[in-house]
Amino acid sequence: MTGLTPVPLQDTVLLPERLGELTGLDQFGFAGELVAAFLAAAFVGTLMLAMTGVAGPWAKRKITAAFTDRIAVNRLGPAGIGIIVADAVRLLSKELIVPENADRPAYDLAPIVVAGSALLGFAVIPMGSGIHLADPEVGLAYVFAVSGIASIGLVMAGYASSNKYSLIGGLRAVAQNIAYEIPLVVTGMSVVIFAGTLQMGEIVAAQHETLIEIAGVSIPTWYALVNPFAFVLFLVANFAEVGRNPFDTPEAPTEIVAGYQTEYSSVYFVLIYLGEFLHIFLGGAIIATIFLGGPAGPILPGIVWFLIKIWAVFFATQWLRSAVPRVRIDQLIEIGWKGLLVLAFANLVLTAAVVGLIA
């Protein structure tokens, strides 16, 4: 077979175990396993942080400029790529200003919670080429759970800032996340019905089979092709979860300055900004894993296909940011509770019925 015949998606050995074997750390028992796990987590975390460093200061501006017929950053380095270093120096060298009446413990912890919750989610994502930290049986439930922790961080930031605009932004964020987290999880459960498991590696493996063969080209059973309606529902709910247009009401600058992050500066602002883009990439990683075959693809290594897919999701978020106007907060909540939630449950029931009939 030719064309879209998928390459092997995962290796049987997880990255920490492989590092333990390659470095000889597995000979030192639990301590060696712990060091190998730390090294593997550091590698994956560094990879995600590096992508975020490129996406936030540079790629976001370039993509938006292309859509709006403007000239983006172009002064520092080739194609303005030096803006990544310049922005890092500029932001980190600014004075950290804390509001006088801020609730300091919550104010300090909120940026860490927002960024850290996204990094935790990548622990169970199979990235291909043997890059997979852990594969628990409840992997999909785990990644939904840890990504939802960010809502707590946003509420903490809004409340602790002692600013009415921040408080409104934090309340909007939690209302939005509750309204769209349920459709997101329910739509994800339709994938679980197809795959018969919550384990991320098994969900990817279940998409190895051939859906149809056309002119010698095998079309794989990616769930975006098997159930495109669920794929679209999940995309919309994910865009709302990560606060992208038209669902960026928690930080709407024309209404509430910058929402929950209004009073943050210097390294704290960098952490919140970093967390926002990490969650976009985490959303893209979940979409790639449960709907787009994970790291599957012809010719190129699995990790390359995986990165292409999550960057495609990032590109879509910037496309919407340039093309779709923001909805009002009341419209946003109505879309979530009266529209997306109903459609998500309808999709779940229909999926269960179809799978039951086929079985």
**Least confident segment among 157-171, 205-219, 257-271:** 205-219
Domain annotation covers residue 130: yes
Residue 302: pLDDT over 70:
yes
pTM of the model: 0.88
205 located within any domain = yes
Would you tell me how many other CB atoms lie within 10 Å of the CB of residue 319? 16
Task: Look up the domain containing 291 and give its range.
Answer: 95-358
pLDDT attached to residue 11: 45
Residue 219 tokens, joined: 């079309």
Q: What's the domain count of the chain?
A: 1
CB atoms within 10 A of CB 188: 24
Can you tell me the mean pLDDT for 201-226?
Answer: 75
Mean per-residue pLDDT over the chain, rounded: 83
**Residue 192 belongs to a domain:** yes
Residue 78 resides in a domain:
no
Q: Tokens 């919750």 belong to which residue?
A: 117
- Sign of the CA dihedral 351, 354, 356, 359? negative
25 part of a folded domain: no
Question: Residue 216: pLDDT band by 50, 70, 90 thresholds?
Answer: low
Q: Is the pLDDT of residue 77 over 60?
A: yes
Q: Which segment, 212-226, 253-267, 334-348, is predicted with the most confidence on average?
A: 334-348
Task: Identify the band that residue 210 occupies on the pLDDT scale cut at 50, 70 and 90.
Answer: low
258 domain-assigned = yes
- Indicate the pLDDT class of residue 218, thresholds 50, 70 and 90: low
| Alpha carbon distance 338, 356 (integer Å) | 27
Tell me which DSSP letter residue 79 carries. G
Query: 23 in a domain, yes or no?
Result: no
Distances (CA, A) of 44 to 20, 38, 74: 16, 10, 30
Per-residue pLDDT, 123: 87
Query: Is residue 215 pLDDT above 80, yes or no?
Result: no
Residues 33-46, mean pLDDT to the nearest whole number: 84
pLDDT for 252-268, tens place per residue?
777 887 778 888 888 88
Q: Enumerate the H helices of the chain as residue ranges.
A: 15-23, 29-54, 60-67, 83-92, 104-121, 139-160, 164-195, 200-206, 223-226, 228-241, 253-256, 266-291, 302-323, 329-334, 341-358
Indicate if the pLDDT at residue 9 is higher than 60.
no
pLDDT score of 171: 85
pLDDT of residue 231: 92
In a domain, 54, yes or no: no
Q: Quickly state the pLDDT bin for 212 (edges 50, 70, 90).
A: low
The mean pLDDT value for 114-137 works out to 86
What amino acid is encoded at 300 in this protein? L
Structure tokens at 41: 């987590």
